Amino acid sequence: MTDSDTITRAGGTLRSAERRPHMRVRAGAGSIHDDATAQGLGFRGGTIAGSIHMDQFPALLVEAFGQRWFETGTLSLSFKHATISGEPVVAVVGIPPEGADVQVEARTEQPDGTVVAEGTASVGRPDPATHLYSVDLRPSPPDQLRMLAGLAPGSPLGHQASVSSGPVRERVEAGGLPDPLGWFSGPSPWGGPIANPSSVVQLLRNRGNEFGPHVRGAVGLFGAIEIRHHGGPVLLDTTYQVTGEVVAVGASPRTEYVWYDTAASDEDGKLVASMRMQLRWMTASSPLYQDGGQG
């Protein structure tokens, strides 16, 4: 699978080796991952997607929970500090106690201790709820919204999708996945290759047109992501039916945002995986805020 020598134990935690993530494709103008666009919005440079940071966890999660993390496990993170290409990041998970249904803290951090993302990792159905399912999703009043005006909880989402093994294998071969498991590009205990976290996000995320016309010209970024395996893992080169809905819409001083849930079922209707995501759009990037108003 992977070299366990890259994992260290310290203070009741498992820690990955220091890695320096890069965006796997060059971002175009208008993307938060593009240097000029991001710097124009007050960031230090083009940001690394939160889903890329999630790819630093699988070796730790298998060390902590065994292969069943890919069957009933979750990784639930809020993104706190935007990193740029090549900056060092370490993934950390707590060492779980014995038990069938357990949850531990999870985070990514920089060498100086700056927290990049924080949340929980688990297997089974532990109590209390995961990090993102403990967040109060109280919506903002509709009159505070401009980009997301007219979008409401309950708005449906859905598509068919699969994740191809070829691009995942290319990322592994090019060194684009930190500490990759062999299961991502070759045989696994479940048969063929399985999806790494950012590929699960790719499968389950929105397809770009579900949140109305006013977000198309705005710069978006991930605020939080939880992936959950129900009857996993997610297999590559396999088509899934994805359904979901908006669960909350809101605004902050610099963004408007949507929380939504999606779930993937196989051809037999079996629930395989689900996701909760918060997407944010920067108000400063939207023509609807050219008057200097705040979201």
Q: DSSP string of 14-43?
A: EEPPPB----SSPPPTTSTTSHHHHHHTT-
Inter-residue contact 162 to 237 (CB < 8 Å) = yes
The pLDDT confidence band at residue 209, using thresholds 50, 70 and 90, is confident
pLDDT at residue 4 tops 60: no
The answer to which of 55-69, 74-88, 108-122 has the lowest mean pLDDT is 74-88
pLDDT at residue 10 tops 80: yes
Query: ω before 128 within 30° of 0 (cis)?
Result: yes
3-state secondary structure of 134: helix
Average pLDDT, stretch 238-251? 96
What is the predicted pLDDT for the residue at 27?
Answer: 55
pLDDT, tens only, 266-291: 999 999 999 999 999 999 999 999 86
- For 56, 250, 290, the CA distances from 117, given in Å and listed in that order, are 12, 21, 31
What is the predicted pLDDT for the residue at 294?
Answer: 42
3-state secondary structure of 4: helix
What is the predicted pLDDT for the residue at 155?
Answer: 93
194 vs 97, which has greater pLDDT? 194
Q: What tokens appear for 237 in the block?
A: 């080169």
Average pLDDT, stretch 217-234? 93
What is the predicted pLDDT for the residue at 293?
Answer: 46
What is the predicted pLDDT for the residue at 128?
Answer: 85
pLDDT, tens only, 68-90: 999 999 999 999 988 888 899 99
pLDDT, tens only, 22-36: 776 555 556 766 666
89 vs 42, which has greater pLDDT? 89
Average pLDDT, stretch 227-237? 96
pLDDT, tens only, 120-175: 999 999 888 999 999 999 878 888 899 999 899 999 999 999 999 999 999 999 88
Rounded to the nearest integer, the mean pLDDT of the chain is 89
Question: How is the beta sheet containing 240-251 ordered, strand by strand?
Answer: 8-10, 13-15, 90-94, 102-109, 115-123, 73-79, 220-229, 271-282, 255-265, 240-251, 156-161
What is the predicted pLDDT for the residue at 176?
Answer: 87
pLDDT at residue 113 tops 60: yes
The pLDDT confidence band at residue 216, using thresholds 50, 70 and 90, is confident
All structural domains of the chain: 4-125+139-289 (3.10.129.10)
Q: What tokens appear for 4 in the block?
A: 């366990």
Among 292, 279, 216, 273, residue whose Cα is nearest residue 247: 279
